Amino acid sequence: MASESGVRRVKALVAYDGTEFSGWQVQDGHLSVQGAIEKVLGTILNHQVRIVASGRTDKGVHALGQVFHFDTINPISLPDLMRGSNALLPRSVRIRRITEMDADFHARFSARYRQYRYFVTGRDLPIFNRYAYVFKRPLDLRAMQRASRLLLGEHDFASFGSPMRKGGSTVRFLKRCEIRHKGSFVVFIIEANAFLRLMVRNTVGALLKVGSGRLDEEGLRRLIEVPTPGSLTPIPPQGLFLWRVFY
């Protein structure tokens, strides 16, 4: 699929533990996931590399299925590139798959849906609290499941998050919002065409309020019908995973 010019567009699937990173995006003087990957790819490919992700993740947020793309003129085989990258990357970042794509593939613009999962647990154990939010009040799963249906579809989610660019649209299409009990965890599965900043953490936070009796369905409905930025306080990042991107 290499173009005549010898430029190849490469798509990569990457998992990371966000605990030690300042977030996805390169920021001066901070250790970002993007920066760590660009440095390693630059070393292996022997030219400067800019990678473009499906979207940014905030400080402390994890990913199982983040997707990014980049261009290279280096003819290295993809298995060698993947092996080499994982050998040089910190253990907290693992490239899971590398594929060559047509030149019009774009990790961000070609993405149709993003799926995030948020893990909540009542058990305050060290091995859980790195990857889940420890929430000790009893939760009414049914009440959360019922309320979550209000969020489905196209809405102005301004109460739940802010646009990346100031003045940008706050309308998003929520395709799926599922809440499941799994072992020691309550798992929130949320899929949308795109997300506002802090939208998943604010949405799950509002549902936890419903589940613990501090917000009723009417209150949640009002947050949707009367978009009011700043209505919610985001819950912590460590329970959040960018789970999958659909193209």
> Contact residues for its own copies (CB under 8 A)?
15-17, 62, 64, 86, 91-94, 96, 124-127, 129-131
Between residues 124 and 216, which has the closer beta carbon with respect to its own copies?
124
Find the shortest distance in angstroms from Cβ 87 to its own copies: 12
Both tokens of 244, joined, read 């999958």
In eight-state DSSP terms, residue 216 is -
Between residues 18 and 161, which has the closer beta carbon with respect to its own copies?
18
Marked catalytic residue, from 58, 71, 104, 140: 58
Q: What HEC string does 17-45 produce?
A: CHHHCCCCCCCCCCCCHHHHHHHHHHHHH
Find the shortest distance in angstroms from Cβ 131 to its own copies: 6
Find the shortest distance in angstroms from Cβ 231 to its own copies: 29
DSSP class per residue in 90-139:
-TTEEEEEEEEE-TT--TTTT--EEEEEEEEES---HHHHTTSEE--S--
Question: How many CB atoms sit inside 10 A of residue 50's CB?
Answer: 13
80 is catalytic: no
Between residues 91 and 165, which has the closer beta carbon with respect to its own copies?
91
Between residues 16 and 118, which has the closer beta carbon with respect to its own copies?
16
92-114: b or e for each residue (b if 16 or more CB lie within 10 Å)?
Answer: ebbbeebeebeeebebeebbeeb
Residues marked active site are found at: 58
